[in-house]
């Protein structure tokens, strides 16, 4: 990674230089991922899905909103599991 950053910074192309600067700034978190490969991507995706549901429909009934979220996130509307 260090070698690629060095070569990209010497490149005549601005896009390579920008990518090298970004990688240099985020080098520590990127490399730490390989030591502990866990992310919160699944939770972030679920939160994004819920926000989109809220934007699309504007539910006034909380129970219907809750069931819609449960349906889109799990594909199931069983009330006992939706609690």
User: What region does 54 belong to: left with phi over 0, alpha with psi -120 to 50, or beta?
Assistant: alpha
Q: What is the pLDDT of residue 82?
A: 47
pLDDT band at 81 (very low <50, low <70, confident <90, very high): low
pLDDT digits (tens, 9 = 90+) for 20-79: 999 999 999 999 999 998 888 989 999 999 999 988 887 888 888 888 888 888 877 665
What tens digit of pLDDT does each residue of 6-23 get?
A: 999 999 999 999 999 999
- Please give the distance of CA 75 from its chain centroid, rounded to a whole number: 21
Closest CA to 53 of 38, 67, 33: 67
């Amino acid at each position: 990674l260090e070698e690629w950053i060095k070569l990209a910074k010497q490149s005549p192309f601005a896009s390579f230089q920008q990518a090298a600067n970004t990688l240099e700034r985020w080098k520590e978190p990127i490399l730490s991922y390989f030591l502990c490969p866990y992310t919160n991507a699944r939770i972030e995706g679920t939160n994004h899905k819920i926000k989109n549901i809220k934007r699309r429909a504007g539910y006034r009934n909380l129970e219907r909103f809750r069931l819609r979220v449960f349906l889109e996130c799990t594909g199931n509307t069983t009330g006992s599991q939706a609690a």
